[in-house]
Amino acid sequence: MNATRIDRGSNETTAVYSDGADLVFERTFDATRDQVWKAFTDPEIVPRWWGPHGTTATVAEMDVRPGGKWRYVSRAADRDDVTFYGEYLEVDPPKGFKWTFMFDVEGVGPMGGPETFTFEDLGGKTKVTSVGHMRSVEDLEGALSTGMVPGALETWDRLAAVLAEG
């Protein structure tokens, strides 16, 4: 990464910054790495935390293996459904995975790119780092304009609550 790091709305629990065309989220969860891995890869658990407050998610497809496809549909009363989709590129349980993270923006078309999740074992806690790579800084700015950072922060808060339930 280069020296263009810009804070993108970090809060007390989650660091969010961009570095060039990369968008990075970092948070330590009070859960084991195996628990975090399961929360990200179990189609029964993902809908319990995916998306901001006030939304529901459906896992329409989830094949957690290299070349496997995934597709989640996010619903909210105040907007049209939003579909997130992609393909698993690398899978290394429980250390992390890399997938393409795509979504369609009205009037723009598909946005997104490869995203890498790493799950660092901190002895009963797990540091999750997500690095999403956009094609350009302009694409990153376009994605940020959709409100993705506040939505992602709420999503990770919901994940923390699900992990706290055990």
What CATH number does residue 104 fall under?
A: 3.30.530.20
For 83-125, what is each residue's pLDDT tens digit?
Answer: 999 999 999 999 999 999 998 767 767 878 999 999 999 999 9
**pLDDT > 70 fraction of the chain, expressed in percent and rounded:** 96
Can you tell me the mean pLDDT for 76-87? Answer: 92
Instruction: Quote the crossing angle between the two packed helices 148-164 and 33-41, to the nearest 10°.
Output: 120
Domain that holds residue 140: 5-164
pLDDT of residue 3: 55
Q: What is the mean pLDDT of residues 150-155?
A: 93
Cα torsion through 103, 131, 139, 62, rounded to 10: -10
Q: What helix, strand, coil percent values describe the chain, rounded to 5?
A: 20, 45, 30
70's tokens: 């995934």
Quick one: pLDDT at residue 152?
Answer: 92
Cα 51 from Cα 61, distance rounded (Å): 16
Q: What is the mean pLDDT of the chain?
A: 93
Is residue 56 scored above 80 in pLDDT? yes
Structurally, the chain folds into a number of domains equal to 1
